[in-house]
Amino acid sequence: MWRLEYSKAAIGYLANALSDAPFLLQAVAEIARSSTGVPSSGVTQRSEPDLVFWETLGHLVVYQRLERDQVMRVLVIKPLA
């Protein structure tokens, strides 16, 4: 299981996206419960230092995987449209 952290920008978006926030939080939490910390679908790009660009629920979620510490740090959440 991965520990979740959110940037101020991600928290700010979630605070303003009231209708989408619960679903986005649940989707991210599901990935954090996995052993890999990487979703099985929707990943559009992976780059160093372990940044993951993930499209889910009409949003782009960018997070950093800190494998040594088992931390997923959500950096950005923004709508695709």
Nearest to 74 by CA among 63, 58, 59: 63
Q: What is the pLDDT of residues 4-23, one digit of tens each?
A: 999 999 999 999 998 999 99
Class for domain 3-79, per CATH?
alpha beta
The mean per-residue pLDDT over the stretch 24-36 comes to 95
- Residue 29's SS3 state is helix
Annotated domain spans of the chain:
3-79
What pLDDT score does 2 carry? 97
Closest CA to 64 of 55, 56, 72: 72
Asked whether the predicted pLDDT for residue 68 surpasses 80, the reply is yes
Asked whether the beta carbons of 52 and 63 are under 8 A apart, the reply is yes
Residue 72's pLDDT is 97
